[in-house]
């Protein structure tokens, strides 16, 4: 008899809960919380709950701007509205892109850039997360490091590039260190704040179940901080490409930044645009990759 009341109660509540729970039944990635404009296009295309017609309409609407942009890029230079020498029609750029791809030029530069940015980015993840956890968790570490961090944090990475070149030379090392430096900050700061902003009630609840500091950290602090850490990682991912291109423009013999700079100097304008498009694509790809990893790690996240 008692069990009966339980069941009905649960059912009642389940019924009442359903409307609230319904949105979460949609694919998780569709949470409208991601402010990433770059990836919105893809996410909307993947939405499942909306009826087919409206889904199609959204896809068309979303791609319309892109198609329009491509069309304008093609037509305006051709009709002479913009100078075709400085802004060649899109088709010419795509041809140049394809030629560079076949010639092996593009893959070579692409690879050079990718290795540098991934190295710096990876290094930043490996070093900044543990450091951030230590700073966020241990008061003495925070007190000790805070002044130094505050100083460096307000020193632009770009301003330090000459220093890196001076110390590490013009080779790969200085570029990787440069990328590392730029990537480390968003990861570090987000990790620290992720640890510091864990809901105190969760800590209290875990402590009441007898968890010591180590287990508390492992079972509560760390998982609670993961979303914030990922925000930092995603920011760093964008930075890793951004600052690398800059470094490659200042002094390099390979890489997409070098390609763009070199193409501009030698007036191979379509090649320059091809390089720029490649960088955009790389950035987009990187972000998508990180987003999907993030989603895997934080399926539970609501907002």
Interacting span for another protein (CB under 8 A) from 20-28, 69-77, 101-109, 279-287: 20-28
Q: Is 7 in the site for another protein (CB under 8 A)?
A: yes
Q: Is 13 in the site for another protein (CB under 8 A)?
A: yes
Q: Mask 267-296, x = binds another protein (CB under 8 A)? A: ------------------------------
Measured CA to CA in angstroms, residue 278 lies from 109, 185, 220 at distances of 10, 26, 41
Q: Between residues 226 and 242, which has the closer beta carbon with respect to another protein?
A: 226
CB of 139 to another protein, least distance (A): 15
Q: Mask 198-237, x = binds another protein (CB under 8 A)? A: ---xx-xxxxxxxx---x---xx--xx-x-----------
The torsion angles phi and psi of 268, rounded to 5 degrees, stand at -95, 75
Q: Which of 20, 52, 85, 214 binds another protein (CB under 8 A)?
A: 20
- Whole-angstrom Cα Rg for the chain: 25
Confirm if 214 and 157 have CB atoms less than 8 A apart: no
Q: Which of 33, 154, 156, 302 binds another protein (CB under 8 A)?
A: 302
Q: Which residue has the tokens 């900050």?
A: 185
Q: Between residues 31 and 76, which has the closer beta carbon with respect to another protein?
A: 31
Q: Which residue has the tokens 């109660």?
A: 9
Beta-carbon contacts of residue 77 (< 8 Å; ≥ 6 apart): 83, 84, 87, 88, 89
Q: How far apart are CA 225 and CA 245, in angstroms?
A: 31
Confirm if 252 and 275 have CB atoms less than 8 A apart: no
Q: Is 16 in the site for another protein (CB under 8 A)?
A: yes
Q: Is 299 in the site for another protein (CB under 8 A)?
A: yes
Q: How far apart are CA 184 and CA 189, in angstroms?
A: 8
List of residues contacting another protein (CB under 8 A): 2, 5-7, 9-10, 12-14, 16-17, 20-21, 24, 201-202, 204-211, 215, 219-220, 223-224, 226, 298-302
């Amino acid at each position: 008899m008692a069990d009966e009341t339980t069941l009905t109660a649960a059912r009642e509540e389940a019924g009442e809960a359903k409307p609230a729970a319904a949105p979460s039944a949609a694919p998780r990635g569709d949470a409208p919380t991601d402010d990433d404009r770059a990836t919105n296009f893809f996410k909307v295309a993947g939405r499942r709950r909306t009826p087919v017609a409206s889904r199609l309409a959204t896809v068309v609407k979303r791609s319309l701007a892109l198609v329009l942009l491509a069309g304008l890029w093609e037509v305006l230079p051709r009709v002479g509205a913009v100078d075709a020498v400085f802004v060649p029609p899109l088709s010419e750029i795509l041809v140049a892109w394809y030629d560079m791809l076949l010639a092996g030029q593009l893959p070579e530069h692409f690879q050079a850039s990718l290795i540098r940015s991934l190295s710096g980015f990876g290094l930043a993840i490996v070093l900044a997360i543990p450091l951030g956890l230590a700073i966020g968790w241990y008061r003495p570490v925070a007190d000790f490091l805070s002044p130094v961090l505050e100083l460096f944090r307000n020193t632009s990475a770009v301003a330090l590039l000459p220093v890196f070149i001076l110390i590490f030379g013009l080779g790969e090392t200085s570029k990787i260190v440069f990328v590392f430096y730029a990537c480390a900050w968003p990861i570090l700061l987000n990790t620290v704040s992720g640890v510091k902003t864990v809901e105190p009630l969760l800590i209290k609840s875990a402590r009441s179940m007898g968890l010591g500091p180590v287990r508390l950290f492992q079972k509560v602090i760390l998982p609670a901080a993961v979303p914030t850490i990922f925000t930092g990682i995603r920011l760093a991912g964008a930075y890793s490409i951004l600052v690398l291109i800059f470094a490659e423009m200042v002094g390099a013999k390979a890489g997409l930044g070098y390609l763009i700079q070199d193409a501009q100097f030698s007036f191979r304008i379509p090649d320059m645009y091809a390089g720029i498009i490649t960088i955009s694509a790389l950035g987009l790809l990187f972000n998508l990759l990180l987003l999907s990893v993030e989603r895997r790690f934080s399926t539970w996240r609501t907002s």
